[in-house]
């Protein structure tokens, strides 16, 4: 998992190249991170599913090292997850 400071270093290296595809990919990553942060901010936790989603977002943003398991929140496992 890439931490925020590592992402900043990667961002600086990507921006130093004149590669439109790399810049587009970086923009997508930034957009996805922004969406996850917004979902986390607006997601009130009322049940185990919402708690799991909140923990999953924290993992995706690099705020925690270990991906949470659905089973730990009393949820059934999903295929392909």
pLDDT per residue over 2-25, tens digit each?
667 777 888 888 888 888 888 888
Read off the pLDDT of residues 31-78 as tens digits, 9 standing for 90 and up.
Answer: 888 998 888 888 778 888 889 998 999 899 888 889 999 999 988 887
Tell me if 50 sits within 8 A of 43, measured CB to CB: yes
User: In terms of pTM, does the model score above 0.75?
Assistant: no
20-42 helix and 48-60 helix, angle to the nearest 10 degrees: 150
**Looking at beta carbons, which pairs linking 60-65 to residues 24 or more positions away fall under 8 Å?**
60/36, 61/33, 61/36, 61/37, 62/1, 62/2, 62/3, 62/4, 62/7, 65/1
């Amino acid at each position: 998992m890439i931490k925020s400071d590592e992402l900043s270093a990667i961002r600086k290296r990507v921006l130093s190249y004149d590669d439109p595809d790399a810049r587009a990919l970086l923009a997508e990553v930034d957009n996805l991170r922004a969406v996850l942060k917004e979902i986390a901010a607006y997601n009130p936790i009322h049940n185990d599913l919402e708690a799991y989603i909140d923990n999953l977002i924290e993992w995706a943003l690099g705020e925690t090292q270990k991906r949470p398991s659905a089973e730990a929140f009393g949820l059934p496992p999903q295929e392909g997850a």
